[in-house]
Amino acid sequence: MGSPKERDNVQPEGTMSYSNFCRSKVVATVGPASSSADQIRGLIDAGVDVFRLNLSHGDHAEHKAVHQVIREATADCGRAIAIVADLQGPKIRVGPMPPTGVTLVKGEPFILTTEGPVQEGTASRAWLDAPSLSSDVKAGHSILMDDGRLRVRVVNVEGPEIQCVVEVGGLLQSRKGVNLPDTQLSSLPSLTPKDEVDLEFILKLGVEFIALSFVRSESDVLTLRQRIGTGFDDSGIISKIEKPEALQNLNRIIAASNGLMVARGDLGVELSPEKVPMAQKAVIQAARRQGRFTIVATEMLQSMVNASRPTRAEAGDVANAVLDGADAVMLSQETSIGDHPELVVETMRRICREVESTGAYAQSRAVTSPEIEGHGSIQNACARAALGLAADLRAKAICFFTATGTTARLSTDYACDVPVLAFTPSEAASRRMAIYHGVTPIHLNVPTTVDGTIDRMTQELVDRGICSLGDLVVVTAKSRPTALGGTDTLRVVRV
């Protein structure tokens, strides 16, 4: 079979060398800088595991074209890649302003109105696109605009008019975002009319995950799940944690979701900056206790929108997200409108790999809890036993044969220092598993016997240069591969 170094270079076209393996998954947002076939293929080669379609921008025709490009590129390269469609959600914005904007002056009165018709704003008055907002806002509440750069405080509410005084002034321009950190927005729907239209579109299109913005409680998640319906079970829900109210309802939100995203943009506006790092850690730890994957997002390598190197603080931010236990780290503007998307992905993966080579990383992944969904099940026991056997026997790899990806997901809750490959007969399941920490998903047709399944998996390991003759491999499978039911078989195999 040749030397280990030679074997690393013997692999089917489109597969990733395990000398360059990264357990942390990379999510890249698609945009003008990354939507062509060549750009998508370049990002896949650089190491992207998940592509994000941001439905706050672009139209359906553009997203459909990008979706097709991603599916074609992943088929060509032989890797399972997931797609996340990110709904805009009930984002509140100010109405139109003069072309040059208006300047709010500290101490001056300022009125926000939800009453139509929409009119161009002035330095003393602006329209908001939230018709029922005035019923939620109370005197004393803060209202932030333009990512928190401007702040007004409510002094009185009369009908649709919210009367305020400017506390932090500055330039206010059209369509800037509005945040209300003190207000529970009971009047806003979790899905806006735009979201409803976008949801119908993406369900027909077919994506692995739908990201729900501005989640406040489990009822928001359950509303989306009801809209998705039983015919689209392949679409998992990622709840974006970006409001203080969500932190108060965190455990129930996690239980209703497939995964969590720590969306630090709006969260960092509604929380004071010093509270965001600990909120990030709390979300990740709570999600891991319930066996849900997590993504850390927003400005991770923001300077690389233009620069060719990250700042030291950005490198530390990515590293700390990995040490916090995040399954994935996300790029937004860096890949959607940045100057060099591929370089950013490569940089992020290098940082992740460096962290993953340390004892601190192994310790961070070793934390487990009996609250994990499936604890006590045969699947969970097989997953945990497989990882333990691999460590004790110094096996070269762990192979899970899984119909739905559940066993592979359970394995991510435990520390592992060998390659984990998840084989599945379902292309949809293989794409879903692309987000799972440390798991390489591989589509494999179903053999009719356990021995046939194991033979196919071990041959794949040899073909990919992961194992050679005589190596030990730990394998899990179903005793009857074509029957219903979960993983119930565990073997140690010598290749």
Residue 390, domain CATH: 3.40.1380.20
Structure tokens at 92: 């509140």
Per-residue pLDDT band at 407 (split at 50, 70, 90): confident
Closest CA to 459 of 487, 403, 412, 421: 421
Asked if the structure places residue 1 within a domain, the reply is: no
Catalytic residue (choose from 52, 225, 432, 478): 52
51 and 200 co-located in one domain = yes
pLDDT above 60 for 368: no
Do residues 253 and 241 lie in contact, with contact meaning Cβ atoms separated by under 8 Å? yes
Length of the chain: 495
**What is the residue type of 241?**
I
- Can you read off the two tokens belonging to residue 177? 């975002």
Checking if the pLDDT of 7 tops 60, the result is no
Distance CA 438, CA 397 (A): 12
Domain count, the chain: 3
Verify that 353 and 412 share a domain, yes or no. no
Range of the structural domain that residue 129 is part of: 92-179
Is 52 known to be catalytic?
A: yes
DSSP states of 333-401: HHHHT-S-HHHHHHHHHHHHHHHHTSHHHHHHHT---TTSTTTTSHHHHHHHHHHHHHHHHT-SEEEEE
CA distance 450 to 179: 56
Looking at 364, 397, 427, which one is the last position of a domain? 364
Catalytic residue among 25, 41, 176, 240: 240
pLDDT band at 419 (very low <50, low <70, confident <90, very high): confident
In whole angstroms, what is the distance from residue 46 CA to residue 28 CA? 11
Answer yes or no: are the C-beta atoms of 384 and 392 closer than 8 Å. Answer: no
Name the pLDDT band for 64 (thresholds 50, 70, 90): very high
Catalytic residue among 298, 406, 407, 412: 298
Helix, strand, coil percent values for the chain (each to nearest 5): 40, 20, 40
Q: Residue 275: which CATH number?
A: 3.20.20.60
pLDDT band at 377, cuts 50/70/90? Answer: confident
What pLDDT does residue 483 have?
57
**Is 312 labeled as catalytic in the residue annotation?**
no
Residues 209 and 322 placed together within one structural domain of the fold: yes
Same domain, yes or no, for 228 and 247? yes
Average pLDDT over residues 49-62: 96
Question: Regarding beta strands 439-443 and 420-424, do their DSSP bridges make them parallel or antiparallel, or are they unpaired?
Answer: parallel
pLDDT at 34 over 90: yes
What local confidence, expressed as pLDDT, does residue 482 receive? 56
Q: pLDDT (tens digit, 9 = 90+) per residue, 246-303?
A: 999 999 999 999 999 999 999 999 998 899 999 999 999 999 999 899 999 999 999 9
Asked whether residue 55 is assigned to any structural domain, the reply reads yes
Q: What is the pLDDT of residue 19?
A: 58
In a domain, 476, yes or no: yes
pLDDT bin (cut points 50, 70, 90) of residue 232 is low
pLDDT value of residue 411: 82
How confident is the model over 69-91, as a mean pLDDT? 95
Residue 317 tokens read as: 């931010």
Residue 462 vs residue 27, higher pLDDT: 27
The question of whether 298 is a catalytic residue gets the answer yes
**DSSP output for 129-150:** S-TTGGGT--TT-EEEETTTTE
Instruction: Indicate whether 119 and 252 sit together in one domain.
Output: no
User: Does 311 share its domain with 274?
Assistant: yes
Q: Do residues 198 and 61 both lie within one domain? A: yes
Catalytic annotation on 243?
no
pLDDT at residue 2 greater than cutoff 70: no
- Whether 13 has a pLDDT exceeding 50, the answer reads no
Residue that terminates a domain, selected from 125, 159, 179: 179
Asked if 396 and 291 sit in the same domain, the reply is no
Q: Residue 113 maps to which CATH number?
A: 2.40.33.10
Sign for the pseudo-dihedral over CA of 391, 393, 399, 401: negative
468 φ/ψ sector (left φ>0, alpha ψ -120 to 50, else beta): beta
User: CB–CB of 155/164 below 8 Å?
Assistant: yes
Give 372's pLDDT tier (boundaries 50, 70, 90).
low
pLDDT surpassing 90 at residue 179: yes
Question: CA angle 277-440-361, nearest 5°?
Answer: 35
Residue 3 pLDDT: 39
Same domain, 401 and 417: yes
Which of the pair, 480 or 274, is modelled with greater confidence? Answer: 274
Q: What is the mean pLDDT of the chain?
A: 89
Task: Convert the pLDDT of each residue in 299-319 to its tens digit.
Answer: 999 999 999 999 999 999 999
Examine the domain organization and report whether 397 and 427 are in the same domain: yes
| Pair 295, 328: CB distance under 8 Å | yes
Instruction: Tell me, yes or no, whether 100 and 37 share the same domain.
Output: no
Is 140 found in the same domain as 100? yes
Sort strands 170-172 and 102-104 into parallel, antiparallel or unpaired.
Answer: antiparallel
Please say if the pLDDT value at position 396 is more than 80. yes
> What pLDDT shows up at residue 230?
64
CA distance 255 to 221: 10
Report residue 119 as tokens.
């009119």
Do 478 and 488 touch, CB atoms closer than 8 A? Answer: yes
Residue from 64, 71, 93, 353 carrying the catalytic annotation: 93
Write the CB contacts of 252 (distance below 8 Å, at least 6 apart in sequence): 217, 218
